[in-house]
Structure 1
Amino acid sequence: MTPEQIDAWGEELAEVTGGLAHLFARPEPAEVFADLIEGLLDGLPKKNGWTMSARAGHAGPERIQKFLNAASWDDAALVGAVRDYALARLGDEAAVMVVEDTQSIKKGDKSVGAAFQHCGTTGDVRNCQVMVMLTYAAGAGHTFLDRRLYLPQSWAGDVERREEAGVPAEVGFLTKPRLAALMLADALAAQVPFSWFAADSGYGRDPHLRAYLHAAAIRYVLGVPVDLPLSGVAGKPDLGAPPIARAGDLLHYAISRDRWERRSCGEGTKGQRLYDWTVFEVELAEQAPADGYVHRLLIRRSTKKKHLAGGRFDYDYAYLPGPRADAHPGPGDHPRRRSALADRGRQQGIEAAGGAGGLPGAQVEAVAPLHRLLPARPRLPRRRARRPRHTGARASGDRRRESGGKRPHTGGKDRTGPSRSR
């Protein structure tokens, strides 16, 4: 976003930030908050405490650092305020709630939660922080609704590191799917309107998350691994047919049946991202559907010859109300349409994260500034046919592809946490 665009949007921006002044006990933090929002929106080459302070006319970064580290304000209340603002403009009963994690690569071991773990940004194991994000994807646009820092077991059991980083005593180790369930429960308690839940195979393979969704009767489309255990397809199996014990076993039937439907997963950098889809009604091992619901396995096949030659297929697991597999859902109720909408929200939303709160390579070392940066970052709704209202870059590829492309890592340092030697 350019300074000219911010100026043109100044009246509405002032209304938004001014409407959140009640979150702060004094006027000074409210002023710094407004400066921080404008700095995060501005197209600065590097966004850190120094550059945003200089833009706001501060003598140094101390005011922004104090605001994030020590000022008395409730980041949970800000999350709720941002959620209400977004839903007033994007709220849609047909929306999709999307969970995905985003990573910030680190060089030291002081940043809270930083550990050697899988990094989706690079596709390998890196020293990084991981934040689980909840995105709201609707027909009119998308926005972040909530976030949870993933605290690895190496951190959860280290009392000294926890105290140094300010990790609350009640915060322990929770898996990423469990964090996703907590955020979804908060959204349900806030009566957020949505129709589907979607996540990739890192979450789809977790039986406890699926059990939570079943208990709450929430429709979902989840990516799943090829070894997802199945007890077979619905109905009587064909004599002499290969046994079906896992998701990958259905590929034989998909190819021999040859009933594929070509649909788009949305607009990409090179046009429509077209895939061929087929669907089977299945029975999931040791996890029966709720009354009136069925399990379906969607198989997605690339339409590109080089991918077909490599035998590349993706699997999505859909849990939704009847009808049976031989009937067709309504126009707005198709799992493939929901999956495509979730894809768009995941790609655009997670790429818009841009590291910790939109500060590339930010050295956010303590819990308080990290949890405060993300709700403070302007994740205002992006609407079609209107000027974009945040600086998030559009995704360049589908992260659910097995050979997904890498995002470039942008360096830069930001002392928004307590200063410590690295």
Structure 2
Amino acid sequence: MLTIQRLTTRSPQFQSELDRLLAFESGQDAAIERTVEDILIHVRHDGDAAVLEYTKRFDRLDVDTMAQLELPIASLHTALDKLPQIQRDALEAAAARVRAYHEHQVMQSWTYTEADGTVLGQQVTALDRVGLYVPGGKAAYPSSVLMNAIPAKVAGVDELIMVVPTPDGVQNELVLAAAAVAGVTRVFTIGGAQAVAALAYGTATIPQVDKIVGPGNAYVAAAKRRVFGTVGIDMVAGPSEILVICDGKTNPDWIAMDLFSQAEHDELAQSILLCPDAAFIDAVTASIHKLLPEMPRREVIEASLGDRGILIEVRDLDEAIAIANHIAPEHLELSVDQPEVWAARIKHAGAIFMGRTTCEALGDYCAGPNHVLPTSRTARFSSPLGVYDFQKRTSLIQVSEQGARTLGKIAATLAYGEGLQAHARSAEYRIITD
């Protein structure tokens, strides 16, 4: 029978027990790292030939040329046209909401002019080309296509190169339809570390990108870590997380299912409930046992909740907020009265879901904000994926003659202090005298 770890903040050992349960080591497997290193080197040296070799080995696709692994853009629109109308409507509605939200994030260039005529500012430009990794096989997430591709298009990225493995040639029509809706430029049916390498280094067929985004397995994550610096990456995400703060007034079945919604992702996912009402925690526990047998992914949920799930009795909601800020969860549900009041006190969370009717699942698909969020407590210093991840900022500096007199003296003084005479002389040359 499933047993979920239950804690109370009144225990002297609470903090140490909590930190033990929160601890997650990605456990970068040495064998995976060696394999990925070999793949990256091979693709960097041999390009298309290496990609073809790995695609044959891992995806069982035996083709002669890379051209056979590129899908015509027309096939994406064909997939969209073939969708049942209810699926197409849902996909397009979700895309429209994601696009509308992210349009608010677009950064604009700006300048200002100082009294002496010196102009300073910031010029905002989009990345030229972005690579989007989309899982294939059993893990097919059209929602991730929308969440990764649409912000890039809103930012003004010209080319969006999607890679998606198709083991045994099996294509996911919903993923292809999502690519059509999101405006993907090119699609290659490749995956794994070899796809990351191709995007990072470029081959004769696949152009080098500026940034790689999108989720993947341990090999993909290891490859992204290794190519960072050659290209940008979005993040290396850990297992999914949800933290629910509830005052005990929500239907316990709702809370149980919200905990399931992340637990069903992965055995390593973490679901946590904070509540000041011990009787309500009992009710949620009863709901978990009642609802679990009907879940198709019961075994995954059971493993996740049994190993990493936590039910925490807190003294009050103030204490719950403090604990939530310590945990810095990927997803935070505030299932309480006046959630906006409590939300203002949250400093660290990937996304905050406010109110009893706002379940995390809505954010995964169609609310509008991005579902690519920081995990493993990285919300303490990082943010959701957004348009700003696909734009760059360049400083603008135009110093007037009068400004050169003032700034030249300041710069020269500091440069001499650092022992950099050429810097100082360069600034002094611009000190124009009457």
TM range (shorter): under 0.3
Structure number with larger C-alpha Rg: 2
Query: What TM-score do you get using the length of structure 2 for normalisation?
Result: 0.24
- Looking at secondary structure, tell me which structure has more helix per residue: 2
- Looking at secondary structure, tell me which structure has more strand per residue: 1
Query: What TM-score do you get using the length of structure 1 for normalisation?
Result: 0.25
